[in-house]
Amino acid sequence: MEVSHAIRRFLPFLLLCLALAWPCAPARAQFVAGISVDIAPPPLPIYAEPPLPEDGYVFIPGYWAWAPSGFYWVPGTWVLPPAPGLYWTPGYWAFVDGVYVWYAGYWGPTVGYYGGVDYGFGYFGTGYDGGYWQDGVFFYNGAVHNFGRVRVAHSYRRDVSDRHARMSFAGGERGTGARPGPDEERAAQEPHRPPRSVQMQHETQAATIRTAPAAVNHGRPPVAATQKPATFTGPGITSARPAPHPPAPPHPAGGAAPQGQGHGGGGAPPPGGHGSEPEHH
């Protein structure tokens, strides 16, 4: 059922208040924003990852959010996890009962279901191939992330294939056909944490970027990703680039991920134990 205009307008503010009031409150279901609209979100833009600002940060891919004026782009950005050992499961749009519903992202011990949407940067539709936690330390996949000039203490390299599938929602005739697999169903039962307050601030302030609305950027936001949350000018900004032509097909939906992709708990260590020698950048 479609949410009223008033609820849609003030819901982001209410969610921000909840996130600030209970930043560490666990839950055993995915955090649902409750926003539903009758317009499909635009295809995902293609953009490069800004340089890592500091060892320990993880990259949160960008997404289309909803405002009373329509869809606007929330740039991808680097964020510190709320605690070691936690992974980010991206939010996603899904076509349900004739409307597009937003299911918000969350932090948890494993990566859960995110609609089969290929966000890139390790989130290729199923699981996560951007890195893994071990003994409280995050190991980065150097084939996925841009370290820039930061010296990363722990990394490995596993090549992955990002097909740049640009579908931004699940279900319907034009969305992904993904369904939660066993690992994702188990992840849904684990304790979750909501987005950090800095992530909510990042989303709220992104709505003020003049070029953020889809009606303005036509699916190619000039501010596609940022090095720091809620910082939309200066160095560390990347813009969207043209989509490949013709668009590549998505990863197989609802089944096993392509080889070397889709590790539910975050990228498992490379074959042979703890992987190759750490890469330093």
pLDDT tens for residues 6-40?
334 444 434 434 333 333 333 333 444 568 899 99
Residues 146 and 143: their CA atoms lie apart, in Å, by 8
| pLDDT at 239 (0 to 100) | 97
Report how many domains make up the chain. 1
In the numeric block, which tokens belong to residue 71?
């869809």
Of residues 190 and 33, more confidence is placed in 190
**pLDDT on residue 277:** 41
Encoding tokens for residue 47? 């953009």
Sign of the C-alpha dihedral computed for residues 68, 179, 165 and 237 taken in this order: positive
In a domain, 204, yes or no: yes
**Residues facing residue 238 across a β-bridge:** 225
pLDDT digits (tens, 9 = 90+) for 126-174: 999 999 999 999 999 999 999 999 999 999 999 987 767 799 999 998 9
Contact 139, 268 (CB under 8 A): no
d(CA 269, CA 173): 37
* Within-domain flag for 20: yes
Find, among 90, 138, 83, 93, the residue nearest to 111 by Cα.
Answer: 90
**Residue 251 covered by a domain:** no
Q: What is the DSSP letter of 176?
A: B
How many angstroms separate the CA atoms of 272 and 252, rounded?
27
pLDDT band, very low/low/confident/very high, at 270 (cuts 50, 70, 90): low
Q: Do the domain assignments include residue 29?
A: yes
The answer to the question of residue 237 being in a domain is yes
Q: Which of 232, 109, 77, 250 is nearest to 177 (CA)?
A: 250
Q: How far apart are CA 211 and CA 226, in angstroms?
A: 14
Domain presence at residue 39: yes
pLDDT above 90 covers a percentage of the chain that reads 69
Average pLDDT, the chain: 82
Residue 272 has pLDDT above 70, yes or no: no
Range of the domain at 44: 5-121+167-241
Q: Quick one: how many helices (H) and strands (E) in the chain?
A: 4, 19
- Domain-embedded: residue 258: no
Average pLDDT over residues 223-231: 97
Mean pLDDT of 226-253: 76
Percentage helix, strand, coil for the chain under 3-state DSSP, each rounded to 5: 15, 25, 60
User: Can you give the pLDDT at residue 268?
Assistant: 54
Whole-model pTM: value is 0.79
Q: What is the dihedral of CA 186, 107, 243, 255, to 10 degrees?
A: -10
70 within domain boundaries? yes
